[in-house]
Amino acid sequence: MPPLTDDHAKLIAEVIALLREARSVLFITGAGLSADSGLPTYRGIGGLYNDHDADTGLPIEVLLSGRQFRSDPARTWKYLAEIGKAGRGKVPNRGHEVMAEMERHFPRVWVLTQNVDGFHRMAGSKNVIDIHGDLHNLRCTNCDHHAPAGDYTAMELPPKCVKCSAVLRPDVVLFGESLPMEAVATLRREERAGFDVVFSVGTTSVFPYIAGPVLDAHHRRKPSVEINPGDTDVTEFVTVKLPLRAAEALDAIWTAYQNG
């Protein structure tokens, strides 16, 4: 990891000044945070897929869609299993740990994550809105049975319910499906309460409900911080843009904050 530059240090100092005045913090996290644990993103360099799967020629939005799962669950499960296998042996990184530590330090900290790897809870965060679900949880498509996913490398595909023999599915949001109502309700409740500072970490913020809290902070004249090596849909609206990888930036911020 290259050393932080003077420009980075100045930006980190700005972030720390915002945190000194804060009592409530929202972290919005995406694939860029999990990438620092060695998880591949869905697309791009090091991604699981590009725009189309080589075997089928179908776009990933079709293969991992609710409609595809209903019509051919075995095919969708093939790609879900690849995602599960990619996370085998991976653990939360320093970025996840920092957010969990900050939850214990500030009066109110929440994490809104698009990631389905469950790393935030593994790292110790309790106030987590898994807006896209958790790949480690399975539920039956026919009855109320729920079960832990276990080892994706040893799973018979598609897995069947032990109660009714119907197909199981991960408790995640597939393309074309609605967001979980409970998670949405929690997000709306916490948004109404407001946050003193909003962090966007490792996400391109293409979904409205992911960009929304940053835009809301901008309109309310509340500070926000973006941690991302590249520019995104919310870059122009944030107070501080820190062009670093997620775990590196969060560790530097929290270390400096505690030593200050």
Distance CA 71, CA 58 (A): 15
- 157 Cβ contact partners less than 8 Å away, ≥ 6 residues apart: 74, 77, 78, 81
Beta-sheet strand order (sheet of 197-201):
128-130, 108-113, 24-29, 197-201, 224-227, 240-242
Report which secondary-structure segment, H or E, holds 197.
strand 197-201
- State yes or no: is 132 an active-site residue: yes
CB neighbours of residue 240 within 10 Å: 19
Collect all residues with Cβ–Cβ distance below 8 Å to 72 and sequence separation of at least 6: none
Per-state percent for the chain, helix, strand, coil, to nearest 5: 40, 20, 40
Sign for the pseudo-dihedral over CA of 120, 150, 81, 135: negative
Q: Phi, psi at residue 218, to the nearest 5°?
A: -60, -45
φ, ψ of residue 162 to 5 degrees: the values are -75, -15
Residue 257's SS3 state is: helix
Rounded to whole angstroms, the Cα distance separating 240 from 229 reads 13
Please identify which of the residues 8, 132, 146, 218 carries the catalytic annotation: 132
Tokens standing for residue 60: 């990933």
**Which phi-psi region, left, alpha or beta, contains residue 145 (left: φ > 0; alpha: ψ -120 to 50)?**
beta
Active-site residues, by number, are 132
